[in-house]
A and B are shown apart, each in its own frame.
Chain A
Amino acid sequence: MLAIIGTVPDEKFPLTLGRMTLVDETICINAERIPVNRGTPALIGAAIKAGEVLGLDDIHGFLAGDIGLGHGSRKLYHHLTEQLPEMKIKTLVFHYLQPDVDWHNKILFAVEAMGKKPVLIADAGFMYAAKMSGQARCYDMFTPDVGELAFLADEIAPHPFYTRGFILHEDNQVPDLIRRAYDHGNAATYLLVKGCVDYVTNEEHIIASVDKPVAEAMEAMGGTGDTLTGIVSALVASGMNLPEAGETAARTNRLAGVFAHPTPATQVIEIIRQIPRALTEVLKSPHIKD
């Protein structure tokens, strides 16, 4: 089972757990319906679309409504600390959740109590909390963008909002930031870094870098990092190893972007629609570059 934990931008959306499907570009989970837009719904949409190609249909959501006050995130945290130890999950993805170190640590204890530890992937707010807690090494993969990588590289910053200027400085190349993040113990076993060049790396070396194809407008589009995390999560849940999944996801996300012919005004659903075509093409020709 691929389990995705995150929030929906609707304060009234209840704590909802269940298998998810995509019908007419709307996420269906139990009786709830969620439009696919940026954030966790974009991650879910991308994972389901990738799952169509991979034969993966066991995708479950642990969702709650949260508009930034943390109410929904805390409902999820509370539920997960109680229920996770009894659950069987192959791949566990944490996404848009209110960063809270205390709750993060309780979740990690609950994961450690599971019969078999799942592959752990973290992005967005939960990745921030994982880094701040000093427990980043417990995770199998983080999926930061370059700005978030600078935050991981800053051993002091508790949130990207406080990343120090000398680390953000443009002269700091991504490989330097990756090195610094690992040196301070603030990176997961693997990093999938989204940027002008996407990197797949571990502590020892950069395993892959993907710089083609290019759809420059994707930088301005909300949700393109979420789709990358969704694709890599589906690939990992389908059995692909993490570094290969990272590179395949980076190529697929870029190709889906090119297929969508985006402008900076394009919405992420346009890219999600192209994921099956892009992933099929990448899997046929893993080293496609253009």
Chain B
Amino acid sequence: MAKNMTVGGAATKAALDAMLARLGGGVFRLRSSTTTLANVGFNATAFAGATMAVPAVATANTMTPSGVPTAGTIDNGQWITSTAVVDISFNIDTSGNTPDMIVSNPVIPGTATSVTISGLTYSLEIGPTP
């Protein structure tokens, strides 16, 4: 018997919206090991409602730039709620090291005065569609 349990677009959207709503007023933390290099703020409504399609795609609302960051090489990120719960974490590196997130240049130089994030999207597909 084939394994064919399915999850529809509306259910996927609901799951994604609920998960990302937790990040309202939280921060996107850029770190080097356990050292925080920069905190970029999520909007009070962190993400606009996700699309109904599969995958569901949610786009972040405008984020608040960090203050003066700590210079260093970013190697991981955390999405943290306003109540300091780390909901999502991932590693970041150049492509050769097969990280979760690939970036061409992970270095925050000493000349940096602020860091921000734009165009942040989260796409989710839970399973085959009905």
Q: Is the pairing of A and B real?
A: no
Chain A residues near B (Cβ < 8 Å): none
Chain B residues near A (Cβ < 8 Å): none
